[in-house]
Amino acid sequence: MSQIKSILPPNATQLQKDLEAATTLRLSSLNEDRLRYLNNPELCNADFLPWLAWSMSVDVWNNDWSIDTKRTVIRESMRVHQTKGTLGSLRRALEAFMASEIRISEWYEYNGDPYTFRVFATFRDVNISLDDIETIYRTIVQTKNLRSQLEYFLPEIEHQEPVPKYGVAFGHLETTTIYPG
């Protein structure tokens, strides 16, 4: 990469010169190999994943996710957006959160109110917090079609530990949390 002396006019303020110097140092630390992979979720530097997610129109993002989850969400984003509003895109969005088993039931399958649906998802051997469950819930709401209403969301978290850590169920705008006693 060629070195650019300055793009500022001769009458630039000291603040503008300081900002240019700080930016130049950061930009000069990037080599061409790192820039080449900025659009590839598998090879992109982890520091740039939030910007790649933004450029790929990822609807729900959490900086606390693991690097693997971030890469999977970005990779699946294009396919989710191509079929957004369908059961396939909803399933793909949930798979990005490492759900091992996903069951989506529509209203006509369980004699519910028209255009409602229920989601049951199982997460095995994945460290999931309550914040992650809320993020998954927001993802479902963002990915579903506009006409349908989420009636019930039950995430099941299976651990190999003898005592469960927590349990949560969402239904009709109520949240039930079960803690071990």
Give per-residue pLDDT as tens, 104-124.
Answer: 999 999 999 999 999 998 887
Say if residues 60 and 138 touch (Cβ distance below 8 Å). Answer: yes
What is the tens place of the pLDDT at every residue in 130-172? 888 888 898 899 888 889 999 988 888 776 666 655 555 566 5
Domain that holds residue 61: 31-178
pLDDT of residue 161: 62
Q: Which of 33-37, 57-61, 104-108, 171-175 has the lowest mean pLDDT?
A: 171-175
Find the mean pLDDT for residues 93-98: 81
- Contacts of residue 106, defined as CB under 8 A and 6 or more positions apart, other chains included, come to 87, 116, 117, 148
The mean predicted confidence, pLDDT, of the chain is 80
- Judge whether 8 lies within some domain: no
pLDDT of residue 116: 93
- Judge whether 138 lies within some domain: yes
- Contacts of residue 68, defined as CB under 8 A and 6 or more positions apart, other chains included, come to none
pLDDT at 29 over 80: no
Euclidean distance between CA atoms 42 and 52, whole angstroms: 11
- Judge whether 13 lies within some domain: no
- Judge whether 18 lies within some domain: no
Query: pTM of the full predicted structure?
Result: 0.61
Per-residue confidence at 1, pLDDT binned at 50, 70, 90? very low
Roughly what angle, to the nearest 10 degrees, separates helices 130-143 and 87-95?
Answer: 160
Per the structure, the count of domains in the chain is 1
Find the mean pLDDT for residues 68-97: 85
The candidate with the shortest Cα–Cα distance to 40, out of 27, 56, 24, 26, is: 56
Find the mean pLDDT for residues 20-28: 67
pLDDT of residue 118: 93
- Judge whether 19 lies within some domain: no
- Judge whether 26 lies within some domain: no
- Judge whether 71 lies within some domain: yes
At 45, give phi and psi (nearest 5°). -60, 140
- Contacts of residue 156, defined as CB under 8 A and 6 or more positions apart, other chains included, come to 120, 121, 122, 123
- Judge whether 68 lies within some domain: yes
